[in-house]
Amino acid sequence: MPAYPFSAIVGQDDLKTALMLAAIDPGIGGVLAMGDRGTGKTTAIRALAGLLPPQPVVNNCAFRCDPAAPMADCPNRSARKGKALRATEEPAPVVNLPLGATEDRVLGALDLEQALVHGEMRFEPGLLARAHRGFLYVDEVNLLDDYLVDILLDVAASGINTVEREGLSVTHPARFVLVGSGNPEEGDLRPQLLDRFGLSVDVRTPADIATRVQIIKHRDAFDQDMDGFAAAWRGKDAALSQSIVRAQQRLADTARPDAMVEKAAELCLALGSDGLRGELTLIRAARALASLEAADTIADSHLISVAPFVLGHRLRKDPLDETGAAARIQRALDEVF
Amino acid sequence: MPAAPRSASRAPGASRTASPGASHGGADARPRPRLEDIYAAGLESWARAERIAALLAVDPRGLGGVHVIGGASYPRTAWLGGLHALFPTDTPAITLPAPCTDDTLIGGIALDRSLAAGSLVAEPGLLARADGGLLTACLAERMEPARAALIAGAMDDGLVRVERAGHPRTDRAAFALLLLDSGEPGEPPPPPSVTDRVAFAHTFRVVPSRCASSFETEPGDILAARRRLASITAEESAIEAIAQAATQLGCGSLRAPLFVLRAARAAAALDGRATVSDTDLAEAASLVLAHRSAPPPDAAPEPPPEPDPPQADSETEADPSEPDRSDPGTLEDQLIAAVESAALAQALETLATAVPTATSNASNAGRSGEAARKQDNGRPDRPVPRARMRKGRIDLLATLRTAAPFQTLRSQQRPSEAGTGPALQLRASDLRVKTYRHRTETSVIFLVDASGSSALNRMGEAKGAIEYLLSDCYSRRDHVALIAVRGAVPDLLLAPTRALTRVRRALSDLPSGGTTPLAGGLSLAAETVERERRAGRTPFLVILSDGRGNVAINGSTERDIATADLETAARHLAAQGAAALFFDTSRRPNLRAQALAGKLGAQYRHLSHTSAQTLSRTVRTAIGSR
């Protein structure tokens, strides 16, 4: 069953842009999409998988190692010491973390089959290993149990998963882009987890009829003939995928004028957002956007475009205060630019 | 009764069986509804239910399923049987047990076969086994969000992914979901993530069993309709009308208009039309949107003139292939009118069948002890050695994991067993027992006396104090409910929620003044306490009042009755045994408030003795010390 094509998603431009930016530069730190039910959050995030450019992965590596920079103590590497690492191109993974997942399933555990049949203690990697160098998606992230949130916070901060149990001692890299979605009416996000997300998008149900009609028609066409619909949009998806690859290549060469750093700092000061993560993410996201638009340097327009994504969830606030984040950001933007 | 004439004319034709309404014998307390009204409403409801079943059978995957509301009853059982009979005989029909593990749901390891084979043998879960068929979730109102998320994920993709590295599996799981929801007033509805993904909702009330006759639709009709389904076209104007109508009726979710379109297609296929007609659209809209339409937050624009009642039943109309557009307004107006008349009909039906609540009590039987349901149903925690915990179920997977590393060693120690004995050598010390983590979530129920006498005193301070407490609740991630006591009847402003911005909004919108239905407020609090217990949370009550209740539960303002009611309600609430704090909001500590707090078994504090900080500390220690 083919997935719904990314380029066939009508509207939701903010969410699509935020996901593309996170795909271009995983260092931006993930995307949080909060909004009403049935607005296509999940569809967009699942569709992203079809867009991600393939990446080289060391053959038979359970930890999805990059041949250019394999983990120093990766068991696979030590096994083939001295030999050149062989790799194949694989699509970047989009791994789904279900709400009720057990710790074993997420972190990894003893491989029972190997232990029972061969008497061998082997580690069976969990979801975190499978999401390495890709995306980890949590639907209804605001309902995620605290023990899973703790795991995510720990691993997302360090990029490393350490398992010490059942006589196993395994450390493997787990760097992933965390993508979460949920309905704010059903609960709030823990502040620490909120802070982990680089970008946040407020997903609204489109109000104008033309857009809604278009969405229904596309979805209906997809339901009537999935393969045909997917094939019809394959070209557009491929073009988007190409633009991500090109943006990634340009990323390092996109200039960052000092004036932009100052503006980013001013913006954060004007909004009173805590810490430096806001500024850093502003610059990273603006650079990713500039590369996507094939610009040589980061310009005001890029900062202005990404500011709502970066700062929307970082405003210092009483958790119960809700004076429109968007309005406050707009005011600060007017002040600075 | 305006709905009666049309349907009453049909009632005699259907009265084949005898025993007229004997089942409602005991209802004497109120004026009894007329029998023919009950029959008429019952027949109408049954016709609607049958149509839903037929449409679902035509396009089970596209329409998602049905939210079936109402406890076990003859009509519900008959309908479920009829629905299953519409599907081909080899259609899987899987029932989801109320308590079930994630492994049961998405698939796990077949232990018996794994042990016999000495290697892991995977076993598909119930979702995968329901592929191509019907999945029935009993006690859907108790479904945990985590399980709902798994089911919703499978419904989106038609697939279940079992995320076990080494054995990553993807099973097909395209099913239609039947959410059986007892629909009791006190229970919350099933998680919205699943109700939003099923097209229909139908409420089964206790009606005379003769109303639930066998279906007129034959399985053959369904098969023919399924074959036609793919070729049914819908005009662009139809899609526009659906989108307009859904938006105007306040259905934000885009699934709603899609379901209308699919239901209209199924209806056209069933009735043998090549194109979706306006009648199909009106019928689909009334079936899909009536229960979804939320009144817009502000005053709704006046709906187009009076809804024409017979809009909903399509079979009586003479298939207008070229509908007259000029007369009843634009297509979307017609759709809205159809939905509104359906909603009206349902409301009338509720009135007509307003049989005393004895029926709902009956379905309540066997429910006692539900409060203890969390016993082995929490979030799985680490398994512990059996030596440490005698009670509990053996966790086979964990036991195997513990035993696995020693297998080589053990077979060396006792080589004789290696050849002939079991493939696996277990020792008592390997046994692991399942444990569950019961997060003791707290639910803080605020009962705020916003009546005139309180308002005179310290309403502003009370609100400030609550806001302060709310930020505390936020950091503890408590659920919060808000009961407002003012005017004629107390009001549960907010059912327990974790979305605290909503609490804050409700609080700031709370007007003050008027009489004090404190007794009613206390019994509402008692109900909320009971419901929270059932949901597995620990209720904690914070009352802000001056203790001067002056309205009795029946609305009377006679002082004696009001006082007596207050006494009874207080005793009833105290019997619930929930920890409570009583903040006296009067100017000076007053005896009545102290006495009431005493009756409630609540700690008494006077608000003026309490700064915001000490207030929050008081609550925190009170919650912590339980």
Per residue in B276-285, pLDDT (tens digit) is 998 899 999 9
Chain B: give the shortest CA distance to residue A232, in Å: 19
Chain B residues close to A209, C-beta within 8 Å: 240, 243-244, 247
Question: Considering only alpha carbons, which residue of chain A is nearest residue B192?
Answer: A37
Task: State chain B's maximal CA–CA distance in angstroms.
Answer: 92
CB contact under 8 A, B164 and A124: yes
Task: State both tokens at B418.
Answer: 């290696």
A100 part of contact set with chain B, CB < 8 Å = yes
Catalytic-residue membership of A212: no
Average pLDDT over residues A284-305: 94
Smallest Cβ–Cβ distance between B252 and the set A36, A62, A219 belongs to A36
Beta A108-110 vs A123-125: how paired, if at all?
Answer: antiparallel
Question: Considering only alpha carbons, which residue of chain B is nearest residue A318?
Answer: B471
Q: What is the pLDDT of residue A77?
A: 55
Rounded-to-integer distance, Cα B584 and Cα B606, Å? 5
Q: Is the pLDDT of residue B310 over 60?
A: no
| Nearest one of B373, B196, B194 to A99, comparing CA atoms | B194
Q: Is the pLDDT of residue A73 over 70?
A: no
Cα B487 to its chain centre, rounded Å, is 30
Q: Which residue has the higher pLDDT, B378 or B458?
A: B458
Q: Is the pLDDT of residue A292 over 70?
A: yes
Q: How confident is the model at residue B11 (pLDDT cuts 50, 70, 90)?
A: very low
Chain B residues close to A126, C-beta within 8 Å: 165
Q: Is the pLDDT of residue A88 over 70?
A: yes
Task: State both tokens at B4.
Answer: 């009666």
Q: What is the pLDDT of residue B470?
A: 75
Q: Is the pLDDT of residue B402 over 70?
A: yes
Q: What is the pLDDT of residue B614?
A: 67
CB contact under 8 A, B150 and A99: yes
Average pLDDT over residues B600-609: 76
Q: Is the pLDDT of residue A289 over 90?
A: yes
Average pLDDT over residues B332-357: 59
Q: What is the pLDDT of residue A282?
A: 93
Q: What is the pLDDT of residue A16?
A: 94
Smallest Cβ–Cβ distance between B258 and the set A37, A98, A216 belongs to A216
Average pLDDT over residues B455-476: 69
Average pLDDT over residues B434-462: 72
Q: Is the pLDDT of residue B531 over 80?
A: yes
CB contact under 8 A, B146 and A185: no
% of residues, chain B, pLDDT over 90: 16
Least trusted range by pLDDT, from A43-47, B282-286, B506-510: B506-510
Q: What is the pLDDT of residue B480?
A: 85
Q: What is the pLDDT of residue B373?
A: 33
Q: What is the pLDDT of residue B363?
A: 31
Average pLDDT over residues A54-83: 72
Q: What is the pLDDT of residue A81?
A: 59
Q: Is the pLDDT of residue B54 over 90?
A: yes
Smallest Cβ–Cβ distance between A96 and the set B161, B239, B408 belongs to B161
Average pLDDT over residues B296-302: 37
A39 part of contact set with chain B, CB < 8 Å = yes
Chain B residues close to A187, C-beta within 8 Å: 497-499
Q: How confident is the model at residue B355 (pLDDT cuts 50, 70, 90)?
A: very low
Chain B: give the shortest CA distance to residue A26, in Å: 23
Chain B residues close to A62, C-beta within 8 Å: 165
Interface of B with A in 464-523 (CB under 8 A): 467, 470-471, 474-475, 477, 497-505
Least trusted range by pLDDT, from A122-136, A182-196, B142-156, B411-425: B411-425
Global pTM reads 0.70
Residues B57/B83, Cβ–Cβ less than 8 Å: yes
Residues B355/B33, Cβ–Cβ less than 8 Å: yes
Q: Which residue has the higher pLDDT, B487 or B180?
A: B180
Q: How confident is the model at residue B612 (pLDDT cuts 50, 70, 90)?
A: low
Q: Is the pLDDT of residue A140 over 90?
A: no
Chain A: give the shortest CA distance to residue B196, in Å: 8
| Nearest one of A173, A293, A233 to A5, comparing CA atoms | A233
Q: Which residue has the higher pLDDT, B199 or A111?
A: B199
Q: Which residue has the higher pLDDT, B366 or B50?
A: B50
Q: How confident is the model at residue B379 (pLDDT cuts 50, 70, 90)?
A: low
% of residues, chain B, pLDDT over 70: 70
Chain B residues close to A103, C-beta within 8 Å: 382
Chain B: give the shortest CA distance to residue A256, in Å: 39
Q: Which residue has the higher pLDDT, B303 or B203?
A: B203
CB contact under 8 A, B239 and A110: no
Q: What is the pLDDT of residue B364?
A: 31
Chain B: give the shortest CA distance to residue A292, in Å: 30
| B497: β partners | B480
Interface of B with A in 592-621 (CB under 8 A): none
Q: Where are the alpha helices (DSSP H) in chain A?
A: 13-24, 41-48, 75-79, 103-107, 112-118, 127-130, 146-158, 191-196, 209-224, 226-251, 258-271, 277-292, 300-311, 325-336
Q: Is the pLDDT of residue A79 over 90?
A: no
Question: Considering only alpha carbons, which residue of chain A is nearest residue B410?
Answer: A119
CB contact under 8 A, A320 and B477: no
Q: Is the pLDDT of residue A301 over 90?
A: yes
Chain B residues close to A318, C-beta within 8 Å: 471
- Catalytic residue among A277, A284, A314, A328, which? A277
Q: What is the pLDDT of residue B585?
A: 79
Average pLDDT over residues B263-291: 91
**3-state secondary structure (DSSP) of residue B407:** helix
Average pLDDT over residues A267-275: 80
Rounded-to-integer distance, Cα B552 and Cα B561, Å? 6
Interface of A with B in 224-253 (CB under 8 A): 224
Q: What is the pLDDT of residue A283?
A: 94
| B484: β partners | B448, B491
Mean pLDDT (chain B, rounded):
74
Q: What is the pLDDT of residue B616?
A: 66
Most confident of the following: A32-36, B15-19, B508-512: A32-36
Q: Is the pLDDT of residue B376 over 60?
A: no
B170 part of contact set with chain A, CB < 8 Å = no
Q: Which residues in B536-564 are b (16+ Cβ under 10 Å) and which e?
A: bbbbbbbbbbbbbbbbbbeeeeeeebbee
Q: Is the pLDDT of residue A84 over 90?
A: no
Chain A: give the shortest CA distance to residue B161, in Å: 9
Rounded-to-integer distance, Cα B613 and Cα B445, Å? 19
Q: Is the pLDDT of residue B142 over 90?
A: no
Interface of B with A in 367-386 (CB under 8 A): 379-380, 382
CB contact under 8 A, B382 and A216: no
B118 part of contact set with chain A, CB < 8 Å = yes
Rounded-to-integer distance, Cα A221 and Cα A228, Å? 9
Rounded-to-integer distance, Cα B324 and Cα B335, Å? 14
Q: How confident is the model at residue A199 (pLDDT cuts 50, 70, 90)?
A: very high
Average pLDDT over residues A293-322: 82
Least trusted range by pLDDT, from A260-269, B15-24, B229-238, B599-608: B15-24
Q: What is the pLDDT of residue B20?
A: 39
A45 part of contact set with chain B, CB < 8 Å = no
Q: Which residue has the higher pLDDT, B489 or A55?
A: A55
Rounded-to-integer distance, Cα A47 and Cα A30, Å? 16
Q: What is the pLDDT of residue A148?
A: 86
Q: What is the pLDDT of residue A197?
A: 92
Length of chain B: 626
Interface of B with A in 17-36 (CB under 8 A): none
CB contact under 8 A, B253 and A113: no
CB contact under 8 A, B474 and A319: yes
Q: Is the pLDDT of residue B333 over 90?
A: no
The string of DSSP letters for A144-168 reads --HHHHHHHHHHHHHSEEEEEETTE
Smallest Cβ–Cβ distance between B471 and the set A105, A209, A320 belongs to A320
A125 part of contact set with chain B, CB < 8 Å = yes
Q: How many other CB atoms are there within 10 angstroms of residue B469's CB atom?
A: 23
Q: Which residue has the higher pLDDT, B193 or B296?
A: B193
Q: What is the pLDDT of residue B427?
A: 77
B440 part of contact set with chain A, CB < 8 Å = no
Rounded-to-integer distance, Cα B157 and Cα A97, Å? 15
